[in-house]
Amino acid sequence: MTRTCLAVVLAAGDATRMKSSKSKVLHAVGNLPLISHVTRAAAAAGVNKLALVVGRDGDLVTDAARAGIDVPVAPVVQTERKGTGHAVLMARDVISEGFDDIVVLYGDAPLINPDSLTAAISERSKGADVVVLGFRADDPTGYGRLIERDGELIAIREHRDASAEERAIDFCNGGVITFSGREAVNLLEAIGNDNVKGEFYLTDLVEIARARGLKCVAIEAPEEDMMGCNTRAELAEIEQVWQARARQAAMLSGVSMIDPSSVFLSHDTVFGNDVMIEPNVWFGPGVRVGDGAVIHAFCHIEGADIGPGAMIGPFARLRPGSELGEKSKVGNFCEIKKARVGAGAKVNHLSYIGDAIVGPAANIGAGTITCNYDGQNKHLTEIGAGAFIGSNSSLVAPIRIGDGAYVGSGSVVTMDVPDDALAIARARQETKPGRAQRLREKISAIKALRRKPASESDQ
């Protein structure tokens, strides 16, 4: 018989220690909100439904939790903060729908691995009534300890309440707990608040369950999986771990990185085979890189589709809507925005191409810009196949440069250029023999006059 599982995700905490105007779980790792990492892990582990306990920014948190998953999400509001046990009980109505397993997750712990959740749920199916995920810590100071006897978990002891013997234990509480859906409401309602803070602690569930003759066990997961976020410093630490995992996965899939630690990826970055990435490259959301592409150093890329064999940078910026064809090239100090660059086309250096279509094999000279914005609206520039745009040209949109057309260097082009035509849009050069010497003499005289004392120049 297929088991059913409800994930209760606690996401109602404030961002007090984050010093933030938005909910803590809306802060991002890998350009994805913390809460989205957690709900996607739960969905990947096979849960059937999520009960999302929200407080501040509840609608935004719910939207982020639902993004990218096809598992139903039921938001419930926690208006008072009375501890983790109280928070889980806010989902009483959803829990009462009837599930074999309940797994409690934290919305600020984005590194949780679906495999760890699957292992906990699987352990429940073997007969345990309560399963706690723990980790081994080199320095367990501050963590709750998992107290075991004869292969069973008998208690979770907070560090401040632990004896010297218990503090020597390095098996620590990771926070994730799975328990029987049939017993869930009764267990949760039995949690009291007879403690210094007067709060209802979910960790008390273990001793309550054992007092009722239920079996409790702890299983081990990597410490990284359990990392939670309370401050921006901890957010940065989690980002480092996530980036290391993402880089490792990319390299194992066939991507080369000269200096992996200087490359930053997003949750949805997609690479083909044999991609080469040089140091100091940042990938924002929505980037796809085709087979054999080369990303040179110091590039900033987001919302871009880079074709097979394309070459980018160094020092290039690709903004959202950039589409680069096969073996195209965008060189140093170029910016591309909402533009389609055809196969084999070259935008080699010091150019801005925005709201444009660049045909296959076209060549864009240095310093070329598409003048796409009139102060209120954006307009399209079309550059035909095999066209050649001379250096330092300004193409004032809306405009079309035809297939095989040439634009002379330094031109300001305001009208369409037909196929195979030559357009020169600049003032005619005039040469004045000897005029340079007279100009220098005039400039020198003006400079000398400015240096004279005021009293002398007034005489």
- Tell me phi and psi for residue 79, to 5 degrees: -90, -25
The tokens describing 139, both together, are 């320095």
Q: Which residues of 302-321 are buried (b: 16+ CB within 10 A; e: fewer)?
A: bbbbbbbbbbbbbbbbbbeb
Q: Which two tokens stand for residue 95?
A: 């829990």
Residue of 86, 296, 349, 379 marked catalytic: 349
Q: Is 159 a catalytic residue?
A: no
In whole angstroms, what is the distance from residue 378 CA to residue 397 CA?
A: 8
Q: How far is CA 195 from the centre of its chain?
A: 40
Q: Is 176 within 8 Å of 133 (Cβ atoms)?
A: yes
Judged by DSSP in three states, 204 sits in helix
Q: Please name the residues in contact with 40: beta carbons below 8 A apart, sequence gap of 6 or more.
A: 68, 69
- Alpha-carbon gap, residue 337 to 356, rounded angstroms: 8
Q: Tokens representing 127? A: 């007969």
Reference 153, options 213, 217, 219; nearest CA is 217
Round to whole Å and give the CA distance between 51 and 77: 10
Peptide bond into 398 cis (omega under 30): yes
Strands (E), 406-459: 406-407, 412-413, 422-423
Taking phi first (over 0 means left), then psi (-120 to 50 degrees means alpha), and beta for anything else, what does residue 159 get?
A: alpha
349-369 in b/e form (b: 16+ CB < 10 A) is bbbbbbbbbbbbbbbbbbbbb
Distance CA 367, CA 417 (A): 19
159, burial (CB in 10 Å: exposed 0-12, middle 13-18, buried 19+)? middle
Distance CA 315, CA 331 (A): 8
**Residues known to be catalytic:** 349
